[in-house]
């Protein structure tokens, strides 16, 4: 018995020594890049979500051309599948060598990450040029300080099929909730599913409640709610009641609770792409999601876009948009070269490349002319006319509160809870964040 | 996260390997040794036990300890752990209706596994144990779903179960259109739909285990029973089932632990929805941990899940598996 114990101790000691040795060598190897000065050569590790073309190719080009112009800066691209960021970022920011540059959606999620102390405050470094982006950059601020920058913007609105609208006798897209309701009735009469929604993913449900809140709440109320992380203002309850009334008309496909939003022909995107549903409340990225789900080569010409309709009596401007964007943050281990590179990403030349690749709407308005798709131009002009663009609530709020919004609204879609429970759940999550 | 609940299994493996090591060190060594026996023995144990022990300590015991530590804090996963809340996270979890329903779902699935999967597995195993034409092919077909990864299984079934999908069309074609349901969208039946998918996936594994058990039953016993005029049912009831006992008990252990830790299939097919109707402890854990960034709270969930699995494993080994492992494990260790 005793001998076993001693050898066990020996074994642990031996392997522990080996493990420590192995870990030690790897961390010192990786750390050599970020710590050097801007004068000597620098390697920036760059985590982005471009695992497929065209964006993957664009970032490779951008990295190569930046290296050509600044030979001392090398970018090491590490494409990571989009959903993996939620698990990888917390771990990376707790570790001693996070990536120098990583995907950032801004808002409260960014604020949560800033708590780690590993996200670089780039306010001063980007000050000379950040004005070019206009108010879009505000979404990547925490307490007025810039901790990230956007490289593209996204807007949520209705994608609809012109052919199905025509079939149901609808001549123009609805501009008010009453018109939307009557269009739903017309489409149903023509045996067409009026609206597809991917409730399985929860966040598409949340878009609905959020948009009703955008119509019921004034811009000031929305801003205050985001800042205070509190949705107690009665307008949010009105939004829930609006949603309740709207859902009572049964506008969605049968079995929408089990429908995914983007995967397969049976997803909400697939339904619209294949003419199985007439509308979907989704982001400007949707045509790109739909294209591979359908064999219809002329799909793009059949799709139209209109903003979320006005709600009578609501305090919110009918032109307010729900949106967001993609961006990047630098970490504290990275040098000023990282912020310099962000400037390059938002420069008109790179922005035009991104727009040309159909990635999204440009963060830098000067690249707008490069947008060729008519519908996207329409969305962009609409966003320029919008008095306020509200970030998706699940990004704008701290992560746990944002998820509480998604969960509560999804439960409401499934018939669980009431407009009041949405408010309670969200406020309760806020009290623990 | 889910692997933190593996210790019972890992422990059993570690125990088994330690006895194996002890046995392996014993064979008589003919030539006299130059070095003292004791040192050599120590060296052998160090080399053989060391890596496994280090992995076990580093990847099982340490994470459990760290999870317990995290579970005492309100922590978003970023920055230092500063907000000590004691057992508040545990109280919160146990009073949360969603987590309670998650536990209920896991227990339901575990019970259904034993009540429904076991008879199916035994029946099919006995059928496949008979000498019939194409027996190997049939065995292969039954076992095939187990070979598929859980992600693949979940994606395939999601497609088949979508409204108007393969399952609905099949039922309609078979004149059973009345049975068509919103398989994954109806909160009242989604858990049972998932159970069918899980059964489809895992029944092959049970059958293979039980087939091995059946082959271990000496043919002489069947012959003797036949000579004594025992009926098929009597043979099954008095000879086959009792001798299958150890296999059944091991299968039930694996099935229940698997049900308690169920994650992949549920996560991909429903994400725990709609309205948490199919939430399991593991999906709840991932939702609150890696989606909501409530790592302190999620750690508390992980610890609770671990305790449930651990207590169950200990009790099961103590009471159900004891007679199967007597002399092999229980005495050497305990």
3-state SS string over A183-211?
A: HHHHHHHCCCEEECCCHHHCHHHHHHHHH
Count of CB atoms situated within 10 Å of the CB of B314: 12
- Token code pair at residue B242: 């009792």
Are B129 and B243 found together in one domain? yes
CB nearest A15 (choices: B51, B185, B292): B51
CB contact under 8 Å between A411 and B58, yes or no, is no
Stretch A332-357: mean pLDDT: 91
Residue pair A268/A174 in contact by the 8 Å Cβ criterion: no
Among chain A residues, CA nearest to B79: A116
CB nearest A266 (choices: B165, B183, B276): B165
Domain count across chain B: 2
CB nearest B293 (choices: A16, A112, A199): A112
Q: How confident is the model at residue A5 (pLDDT cuts 50, 70, 90)?
A: very low
CB contact under 8 Å between B45 and A8, yes or no, is yes
pLDDT one-digit tens code per residue, A380-403: 989 888 888 999 999 999 999 999
| Crossing angle of the two packed helices B150-161 and B190-215, in degrees rounded to 10 | 130
Domain final position from B48, B64, B87: B87
Closest CA to A378 of A298, A311, A287: A287
Return the pLDDT at A8.
Answer: 44
pLDDT at A153 over 70: yes
Are B139 and B214 found together in one domain? yes
- A280 vs B162 pLDDT, higher one: A280
Structural fold of domain A41-154+323-390:
D-Maltodextrin-Binding Protein; domain 2 (3.40.190)
d(C-alpha A361, C-alpha A372), whole Å = 11
Among chain B residues, CA nearest to A412: B275
Return the pLDDT at B33.
Answer: 52
Q: Where in chain A is the domain with CATH 3.40.190.10?
A: 41-154+323-390, 163-322+392-432
pLDDT at B109 over 70: yes
Residue pair A44/A73 in contact by the 8 Å Cβ criterion: yes
CB nearest B46 (choices: A7, A86, A398): A7
Are B99 and B198 found together in one domain? yes
Q: Is B271 exposed, middle or buried (0-12, 13-18, 19+ CB in 10 A)?
A: buried
Stretch B37-42: mean pLDDT: 85
Stretch B284-312: mean pLDDT: 94
Among chain B residues, CA nearest to A93: B78
Compute the nearest-CA separation of A86 from chain B (Å).
6
Return the pLDDT at A87.
Answer: 85
Are B52 and B144 found together in one domain? no
- Token code pair at residue A396: 């704008």
Q: Which of residues 188-217 of A touch B (CB under 8 A)?
A: 199-202
Give me the residue label for tokens 């009334």: A245
d(C-alpha A400, C-alpha A397), whole Å = 8
Compute the nearest-CA separation of A9 from chain B (Å).
8
CA distances from A273 to A160, A203, A265, B17 (A): 10, 20, 8, 57
pLDDT at B150 over 60: yes
Q: How confident is the model at residue B157 (pLDDT cuts 50, 70, 90)?
A: very high
Are B98 and B154 found together in one domain? yes
Please check whether residue A157 touches B, CB under 8 A. no
Are B40 and B119 found together in one domain? no
d(C-alpha A284, C-alpha A301), whole Å = 15
Q: How many CB pairs under 8 A join A and B?
A: 149
Return the pLDDT at A359.
Answer: 82
Q: How confident is the model at residue B25 (pLDDT cuts 50, 70, 90)?
A: very low
Are B137 and B284 found together in one domain? yes
pLDDT at A22 over 70: no
CA distances from B308 to A251, B266, B288, B295 (A): 43, 20, 19, 20
- Token code pair at residue B303: 């610890």
Question: Would you say the ipTM is above 0.90?
Answer: no
Phi, psi of A281 (to 5 degrees): -90, 105
Please check whether residue A414 touches B, CB under 8 A. yes
Stretch A250-257: mean pLDDT: 95
Stretch B117-123: mean pLDDT: 93
d(C-alpha B163, C-alpha A271), whole Å = 12
pLDDT one-digit tens code per residue, B256-268: 999 999 999 999 9
Phi, psi of B252 (to 5 degrees): -60, -40
What is the CATH superfamily name and number for domain A163-322+392-432? Periplasmic binding protein-like II (3.40.190.10)
Among chain A residues, CA nearest to B88: A432
Compute the nearest-CA separation of B310 from chain A (Å).
24
CB nearest B185 (choices: A4, A258, A400): A258
Phi, psi of B320 (to 5 degrees): -95, -40
Count of CB atoms situated within 10 Å of the CB of A17: 10
Are B126 and B230 found together in one domain? yes
Stretch B262-278: mean pLDDT: 93
Range of the domain at B314: 89-333
Stretch B58-72: mean pLDDT: 95
- Token code pair at residue B119: 């008879």
Residue pair B182/A259 in contact by the 8 Å Cβ criterion: no
Are B101 and B227 found together in one domain? yes
Stretch A96-102: mean pLDDT: 92
């Amino acid at each position: 018995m005793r001998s076993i114990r001693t050898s066990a101790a020996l074994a642990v000691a031996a392997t522990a020594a080996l493990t420590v040795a192995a870990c030690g060598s790897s961390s010192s190897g990786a750390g050599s890049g970020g710590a050097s000065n801007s004068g000597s050569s620098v390697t920036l590790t760059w985590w982005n979500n471009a695992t497929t073309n065209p964006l993957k190719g664009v970032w490779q080009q951008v990295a190569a051309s930046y290296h050509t112009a600044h030979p001392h800066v090398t970018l090491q691209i590490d494409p990571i599948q989009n959903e993996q960021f939620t698990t990888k970022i917390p771990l990376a920011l707790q570790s001693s060598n996070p990536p120098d540059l990583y995907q950032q959606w801004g808002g409260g999620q960014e604020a949560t990450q800033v708590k780690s102390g590993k996200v670089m405050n780039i306010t001063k470094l980007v000050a000379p040029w950040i004005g070019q982006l206009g108010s879009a950059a505000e979404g990547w601020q925490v307490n007025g300080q810039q901790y990230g920058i956007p490289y593209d913007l996204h807007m949520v609105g209705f994608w609809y099929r012109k052919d199905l609208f025509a079939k149901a006798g609808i001549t123009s897209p609805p501009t008010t909730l009453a018109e939307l309701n009557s269009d739903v009735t017309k489409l149903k009469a023509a045996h067409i599913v009026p609206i597809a929604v991917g409730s399985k993913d929860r966040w598409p449900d949340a878009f609905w409640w959020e948009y009703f809140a955008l119509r019921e709440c004034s811009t000031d109320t929305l801003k205050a709610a985001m800042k205070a992380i509190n949705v107690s203002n009665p307008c949010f309850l009105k939004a829930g009641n609006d949603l309740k009334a709207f859902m009572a008309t049964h506008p969605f496909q049968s079995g929408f609770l089990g429908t995914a939003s983007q995967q397969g022909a049976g997803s909400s995107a697939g339904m619209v792409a294949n003419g199985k549903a007439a509308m979907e409340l989704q982001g400007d990225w949707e045509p790109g999601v739909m294209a591979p789900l359908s064999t219809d080569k002329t799909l793009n010409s059949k799709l139209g876009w209109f903003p979320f309709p006005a709600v009578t009596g609501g305090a919110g401007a009918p032109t307010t948009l729900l949106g967001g964007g993609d961006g990047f943050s630098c970490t504290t281990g990275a040098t000023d070269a990282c912020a310099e590179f962000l400037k390059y990403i938002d420069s008109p030349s790179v922005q035009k490349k991104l727009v040309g690749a159909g990635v999204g709407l440009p963060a830098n308005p000067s690249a707008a002319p490069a947008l060729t798709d008519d519908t996207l131009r329409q969305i962009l002009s609409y966003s320029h006319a919008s008095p306020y663009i509200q970030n998706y609530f699940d990004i704008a709020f701290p992560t746990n509160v944002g998820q509480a919004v998604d969960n509560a609204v999804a439960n409401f879609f499934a018939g669980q809870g009431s407009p009041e429970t949405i408010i309670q759940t969200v406020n309760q999550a806020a009290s623990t964040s | 996260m889910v692997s933190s609940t593996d210790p019972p299994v890992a422990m059993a493996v570690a125990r088994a390997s330690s006895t194996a090591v002890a046995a392996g060190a014993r064979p008589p060594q003919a030539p006299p040794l130059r070095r003292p026996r004791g040192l050599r023995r120590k060296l052998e144990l160090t080399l053989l036990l060391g890596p496994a022990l280090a992995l076990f300590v580093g990847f099982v015991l340490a994470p459990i300890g760290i999870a317990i530590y995290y579970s005492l804090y309100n922590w978003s996963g970023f920055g230092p752990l500063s907000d000590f809340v004691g057992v508040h996270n545990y109280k919160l979890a146990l009073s949360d209706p969603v987590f309670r329903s998650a536990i209920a779902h896991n227990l339901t699935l575990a019970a259904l596994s034993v009540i429904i999967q076991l008879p199916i597995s035994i029946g099919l195993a006995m059928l496949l144990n008979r000498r019939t034409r194409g027996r190997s092919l049939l065995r292969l077909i039954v076992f095939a779903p187990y070979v598929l990864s859980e992600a693949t299984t979940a994606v395939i079934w999601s497609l088949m179960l979508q409204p108007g999908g393969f399952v609905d069309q099949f039922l309609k074609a078979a004149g059973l259109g009345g049975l068509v349901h919103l398989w994954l969208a109806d909160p009242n039946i989604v858990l049972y739909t998932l159970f069918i998918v899980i059964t489809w996936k895992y029944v092959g594994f049970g059958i293979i285990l039980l087939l091995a058990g059946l082959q271990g039953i000496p043919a002489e016993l069947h012959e003797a029973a036949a000579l004594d005029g025992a009926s098929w049912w009597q043979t099954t009831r008095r000879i086959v089932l009792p001798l299958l006992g150890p296999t059944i008990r091991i299968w039930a252990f694996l099935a229940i632990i698997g049900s308690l830790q169920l994650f992949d299939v549920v996560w991909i097919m429903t994400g725990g929805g709609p309205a948490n109707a199919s939430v399991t402890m593991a999906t709840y854990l991932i939702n609150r941990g890696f989606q909501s960034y409530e790592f302190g709270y999620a750690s508390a969930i992980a610890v609770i899940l671990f305790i449930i699995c651990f207590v169950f494993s200990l009790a099961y080994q103590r009471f159900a598996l004891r007679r199967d492992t007597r002399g092999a494990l229980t005495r050497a260790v305990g």
